[in-house]
Structures are given as structure tokens and as C-alpha cells.
Structure 1
């Protein structure tokens, strides 16, 4: 039972309401009272879990008291998209901070000891007695309140973890442990990132792309710069020059900086950010399907930045393969916008510093699902494809399997990742361009249907920490979280273990038969 600290016959409480019921917590149990932050839903959690929040660099689980207590309006707030919850109470449970969503905080109150009674003194309480530590009796024009015991309430949410479980990280968890088995790109294939610029497709080898990040809100312009030199941005405390491929290639002009993606390339002149409209796919293309640029075109300066042309979809789709090294020798620009030896030397020094920092980072393919960002190790992702036009149903398959399609002559099962992870179908999908993330671990391979592609992100090792443990299934699948902050924007990326993902529920048995 929660301790209720006495101070000279007076006890201090935080008073609040949930679903019209007056509740209280001992003041000593409450670490902070905050406005509800943005919550990131986490799959395979208990029903009362609204999501995860960040507090002072730490990630904590957030429980919706309406759900847990079964009060009026349960399911209307928090992660379900409503706006009922007004405050977040942070309490500590087994050394782990946990957030409790409540409707309204009425304030702090010093209550005389004779107004505090056992919960049994309240006739027909609206909350189970096991979740109460007592009651504040009404009197003298003051309302009464039920005193919550947060310990049993939180324990009930994480019951499937067993006596040694709880929201704190498991004792044997190794935050730096890599996925158990990773797929390797075959030597006779090239892995390409397909980009769109002015509605046209181009590609770059994955090996040349350090990462792909969103265009920031703030870009510093450079006076008197050439049109393709869009300015500079900050990437993990280092300056990154931005080059617009639309302007570099002389395609349709645009007004102002549009929101899109920045592909960060490593070049001889240092790191350069290439601004594109979208990252459409990541493909594995047999080298035999990448043809050299025809000689008549190759001798023209405008085509000197191409390594070849990839023939996709049986030759119906031709995608130029750009060279990261020669890209900025294009006719409209000489280099990434720096002139003079001193400028190139400074850029080179910055590149060395960022390369050293990159050695302490991990690369992930990040995609969107139900309003949250998820990451899979780049080495485990074979391709990222557009949604197929035709899907063949698979009889007697689990409900999370949409069917099968063919990929270069091989059968590929398509898994609806939302249903596999038991996430709400409608949450966060508006305006997203669906993609299929093809992953492999061991001998298994599957296409994961996701809401959209966020890009390739390198996360510093220091920004990766353990995920709060909310269930056994979640702890197997999502053990780590990447927490990034850029230009004041906070971002949490749930990092998945591909081996555990392909081993979930009936999926492993299904893959063995396809």
C-alpha cells in the first residue's frame, strides 16, 4: 500500500479527476506534473498503455487512468487521438518513472488526519478496493476523493512480465546487442536508393548514402550562391551544405525551399546534403540490369555524373544511377559550392570529424507505422518497394498476412505489420504513401506493409538506449529506442530486431511453407 506521509497531523495530496471521479495521490509519490507531451504508441503493450514519452532524456511508459480504471470516456484520450487528458502525473515505480494521464489537476491540498480513512469507509466506491490506499472524506464544504495506490495499479498493467518484471529494463538486457542474424547483399547485386526530383526518378548506390533525413524547418541561405546551392543546415552539431538536385539538373523551377528529404552523401569534398522530393524505394538490382550510359550520351558533359542506367520492371522503367563522386561536377556547378583551397580544407576537416562520429553510429531504415517511427538495421533490409498492384490471397493464412506476390521470380509473403503488431488500423495513416519493406533473417524473407518511408538514419550510439519493458512480446521485438533531437524537434525511433520479428506468432511457420 502507498505510504501516506504525515506532517504534524496533516497529510499532503495531489488532487485530480478522471472520468468525473475525484482522486488523490500522496504528494511524496508524485515526481512531476506536466502537460501531456506527444506520445509514441508502442506495439504489443497492455491495454492501459497510451504510449511512450520523453522526460529529461529518459523514455517512460504512460498509462491512461481512464482505461485502467474503466471510467467514463475510456479510450477517448491519449494515443487514441482524443484530447481528454489534461495533465500527466509522473510517479516512480521500482526505480522507473511512469506517467499517469489524468483529466484535470485540482491542486495540492493539506488534509487533516481525521479526514483520511480506509477505502472501506466510502460506500460503493467506483474503483476496485485493491487499487486504493484510502479515502479523503468530504466535509466542511470540501469534496472527498479516493486515494490511489499506484503500485498495484501499475503492476496490473505489466502482469505478464512475472514477479521479476515491471517497466524497468530487464536485468539481462544488453542495449548494444546487434540483431542475431542479418541478411547480406549478394555480390552480383547493387543496392540502390531511388529518389524523385521534379517527378523524375534517379538513384544512388546505398554505399554512397550516409543517411536520409527530413529537410529541416530552418535552412541558412548563403548570399550570392549559385541557384543549386540552397544553403546550410546543422546535422549533429556540424554544418552540412545543401545542394538542390532540381536546380543542379536544370529541371522545373520551384519557389522557395519545399519540405522533402536530404540524402547525405560522402564525397571527396566532404559530406554534402542533396535535397530531393522523396525517397521512393531501396532496391536490389542485379548488376546485369545496370547498363552503361550509351556512348553518344556519355561523351556529353551533362551525363558525366551517371554511372549507368538501371532497367527495372522488365525494362519498362529506366532509372539513372548517379555517381556521388562526379555528381557535383555537373555543368551548372563546380563542386559543392566551396571555392578555394582553404574552404575545401575546412570542409575536409569537418568531414573527418563527422566520419569519426559516424563510426560510433548505427544505420537504420526508418519507416512510419500508426503515427510512429520504426527502424530496422540497414543490413537486414533487402529492399523497400512500392505497394504491388496485384496480390494473390493465401488460403488459411493468419489475418495479418495479406497474401503473396512475386519478386524476381520468387514468392514473397506480404505481412500487414499493423495487424501483426495489433496496432489501430486508422491511426496515423492519412496522406502516407504505403511501402513494402523486404527483410530477411536466416532463411526467412517477408515483405512488411508499412505506412511510408522516413529514410535512412544514422543514430549515434549514445542516443540509443533501452526501451521500457511493457510486455514480454514487446521486449523481445523492441529492446532499444533511438532518441534524436534536431533544431528543437524531438524524435523517438523504435528499433526492431528483424530475427524476432520474423519469428513472431505464426509467422515463422508460415514462412517455412511459402
Structure 2
């Protein structure tokens, strides 16, 4: 490979064509040698980490993070109808080309080089040439030899016309249709959502604790390691880096002296507690996030007076009686957790009082950031606006089937007198079922209850694999999702691209697919859209 080709393979590709000649990037796909006009190529990179996007064409391998964009990556062999392509090797590359204002990646077996050729040495393609459909060919380079690929035509074939069938959601939904609450149940749900505080429940050493959702800023993966501060107490674990600022970290297990709260960081979470006036946020290290629980205020009891006098109970605001009193959840005091992080926060401040995460401080009411409940599904993270999530629950052992419902509706569930349709997100997004059988998914995971209040209040439960937590995402990190199909564009309209947190900054960026709540609640439109896609 020439020095110029090596440079292009490593990063950006520039158009340095000589006067009167045309420049092409040449690649190999199986036994094909293809050429792409240099003017359309943004870069040639090594295969990036991919996040699968549902409801896409067969050739779509997933989304990659590139220069702040979420870029769809197509397997060029599959897109050309040449199945059974080679596995990734040291030579495998992704060619990033421009398409309708957005970059698209084309996975190829290898980059052959860069050619500059006189236009007179380009021959027309005929049906007899074989190897490639003439409709997606733009000529043959004699000096390659290589076939010029019309990447735009090929990509349009794969993605179709994602926006052509997209139209506003149905304005009126018949009373009693799926996702629509009627009569007294809608009013009860609306009032209940106001009177029941929402708690984020997490686990430490087998015990459940909670914080009010409004005091939780976000939930992050635990860093690989934490920078300890000299002569700090055992529960003051140190500091971690979040978006170029330092976050003091409190170990809840060490604070409460819980057995089994080890020092391993892998798989654990950091709950970032929102600061008070002039105070820096504090990170709380927990074993895992379990659910978002809405509970009557009357079911949160104060700590018994006998125990409240003991120092180890002064960090609690109360004890919640969940599941009819069968579960007791300790509700923590956010203010007193700030006290535990104050020493570390002062030690790590870099620009004055409360500056521990000032660059990442997101306005509570402004448009600088949005907060999302993030859940996992088939190894990919999805997000829903916090305002649209009523609560997150454990999955029941069984649900009531609903005759003649769309395939993606698993049945109905009664929640505090309100009947909710349950949408199996794996079926909806055409993802593989858990353990090969869709019904097995009911035995694990969570139900995310979404909806809105008002006269046309609608609710639905989404069956997901697990709850990842809360994430506050700056507005500049949210962009439109690449449109790969009409169904995908309807359900997943935006995508968030976040840099890896903490000391994992060298790892792949975090991509979160943001779902549209209104589309999820419009069952009739959903069913029509997915049937049309099939």
C-alpha cells in the first residue's frame, strides 16, 4: 500500500486530485474491487465499536461514534447481496462517505489504495461485465481494474425512503383503544402520579436504599479505579473524573458498615446526587440500580425514634414500605450525603466553591440538558424522557393475555386499579427473544411505565431487560438519529453520543438511542407501521 493510502486508512481523506484527473479510493469486497470518488469519502478508519440499531435493513451492522456523530455502518458485502463475507481481519476497514448530509460507513474487506485517473480511461458498465448490478455502477477504471460504486444509490436501496411514510400521530384515538385510559382510571392515575413521590431504588450488599428521583442527577458506570485522597475516612473513597471535572465519591457500603460491600468496581454504578445551593454534587457508589418506585407518601415512615438517636441512622430520611409492606427500603437524606462528600469536594475544587463539577452542571429547568431514564435491551441502551416515565417495576411472573392484540403486545397488567398494555420491546424492535422464547423474558428484567396526564391520559408498560439509571445529557450531545427505515424513524428519532466516563475515557463512546413516547403510545399507528414494514 502506498504511503498516501496508509495515511488515508489511518484517518481523514483529503481530495488532492491533480488537474484534469479524477481521484478514487479503491477497496476490496470479496472478489470485487470497487472504487469510490474521493470527493465523497470523509475518512477510512478501522472497524469501530458498534451499537445495534433496530428495525434497520439486513446490511446495517449498527451505529458508530465518529467525531461526535452517530454514524450508521453498512456491511458492503451484505448490501451487495454477497452473503457469508469474511470476518474482520487486520485489513478490514470502514469507509465513511457522505450521504444526504450525513456520514455513512461502508465496511469493506480491505483498502486497496488511491487512484488518480484520466476520465478517458473510464469505460461504461454493461450487463455483460458481471459482478455488480449496472444500476449501482458508474463505470470501470481500466487502471484498477475497479468498478465505480454509486454509493448513494446503494444506500438508498438499503434505507428506502425512511421519511416518506412518516406522518403525525393519529390526532384522535377511540376511547378504550390500547394505551388509552378511560373513565375513572385515567383520573386516578393522573392524581396518583402527583401524590406519589418517585424513588430511585438501588442495592448495596444485598440491601435496598433509595433517593428521591428529583435529587438524582444521573447514574454512571463506576470507573475502573478511584483516586484516593490522603487521610480520608474509609467511606470517602476519593474522586472520579466526569466530563473533565472531579466528582467526590462516597462508598455507601463502607458508610453503613455493610458486609460484602467489596472494593471491586466492575459492574457497579455511581448515583450522582444533585447538589444544594452552592454545593458540588456527590457520587454514591452502589452495587446496582433496581427500579424507579412510586409510592404513597403515607407509606414512607420516619425512622423510629429509638433508632434515630444512633449515628448510623442519621443518614436516613425514612423507611418506605413497598409491596404492601413486604419490602422495606431505606430512604436516604441527600443533604446529609452532601455532608459526607464535603471534605473531598473542597479538596478537589478547581475554581472556587461548588466547582467540583461546574462544567457538567446542567440547568434544572433550562434547555441546556435533558434527563432520561436509560434501560438496556439486547445489549443496547435506550432512553426515555424522565417526565414521561411514571415508574420502573419488576416484571411479574405472568400477565393476562389480550386476544387479537398486535404481536408486540404481551398482554395487560393491572397497576393500582389501572389496566396497562404491556409492550414487549424485543418483539416491537424485532430483536431476538430472551433464551429463544419471548415468554421467558417475563421472568426477568423490568417494566418501564410510560405515559402522560390530561384528558387523553395514556399509559403503557414497556418490557425491557434492565434499568441502567438516570442520565443528564447536554443538549449539544443529542442529535437526530440516522433514518434507516420508516419504523425506526418513527420510534427512535434522536440519539445521544456521550464520551466514556471516568478513567474509561479511552474506551468507546456511549451511544443511547432515544425513543419517542408519543409513538410508543399510539398502538394503532404502531401496528400499521410494523405490518407495512414486514
* Partner SS, residue 325 of structure 1: helix
TM-score by length of 1: 0.82
Q: 1:365/1:343 Cα in 2 relative to 1: closer, same or farther (>3 Å)?
A: closer
The within-5 A match list for 1:113-512 is 116-120=122-126, 123=128, 125-137=130-142, 144-161=145-162, 186-252=193-259, 254-259=261-266, 260-268=268-276, 269-327=279-337, 336-338=342-344, 346-350=352-356, 355=361, 359=366, 360-425=368-433, 434-441=445-452, 442-485=456-499, 486=501, 487-489=505-507, 490-505=509-524
CA drift at 1:65: 1.3
Structure-2 change in CA distance of 1:356 and 1:195 (3 Å): closer
Alignment match, 2:32: 21
- Displacement of 1:474 in angstroms is 2.6
Output the CA distance in 2 between the equivalents of 1:426 and 1:161.
29
Task: Indicate yes or no: 2:58 matched with 1:51.
Answer: no
Q: Does 1:63 align with 2:68?
A: no
Cα deviation digits, residues 252-282 of structure 1 (max 9, x gap): 1555342311111134553110000001000
Select the residue among 111, 114, 121 that pairs with 1:105. Answer: 111
Whole-angstrom distance in 2 between the partners of 1:504 and 1:369: 20
Tell me, in whole angstroms, the C-alpha distance in 1 between the residues paired with 2:519 and 2:430.
16
Q: Deviations over 1:432-485 (max 9, x none)?
A: 962221111352211111122211000111212222222333333322221111
Question: More deviation in 100-109 or 374-383?
Answer: 100-109
Partner Cα distance (2:43, 2:362) in 1: 39
Give the whole-Å Cα distance in 2 for the aligned partners of 1:468 and 1:278.
Answer: 32
| Kept after mapping to 2: 8 A contact 1:405/1:412 | yes
Conserved? CA contact 2:349–2:356, under 8 Å: no
Per the alignment, residue 178 of structure 1 pairs with none
Q: CA RMSD in A?
A: 3.6
Shift in alpha-carbon separation, 1:294–1:491, aligned structure 2, 3 A:
same
- Bigger mean CA offset, 27-36 vs 245-254: 27-36
Tell me the distance in 2 between the aligned counterparts of 1:59 and 1:158: 16
- How far apart are residue 117 of structure 1 and its match? 1.8
Q: Does the residue aligned with 1:217 lie in a helix, a strand or coil? A: coil
Count of residues paired in the alignment: 476
Distance in 2 (alpha carbons) for counterparts of 1:339 and 1:217 = 20
Moved more, 340-349 or 34-43: 340-349
Residue 338 of structure 1 deviates from its aligned partner by 4.6
CA distance in structure 1 between the aligned counterparts of 2:36 and 2:347, rounded to whole angstroms? 66
Q: Give the TM-score normalised by structure 2.
A: 0.79
Q: How big is the shift at 1:124?
A: 5.3
Evaluate the alpha carbon distance shift between residue 506 and residue 242 of structure 1 in structure 2; reply closer, same or farther with a 3 A threshold: same
> Secondary structure, in 3 states, of the residue corresponding to 2:354?
helix
Distance apart, 1:37 and its partner CA: 1.0
User: Which structure shows the bigger proportion of residues in strand conformation?
Assistant: 1
CA distance in 1, matches of 2:111, 2:351: 58
Find the aligned partners of 1:410 and 1:303 in 2 and give their Cα distance.
Answer: 37
Q: Secondary structure at 2:273's aligned position in 1?
A: strand
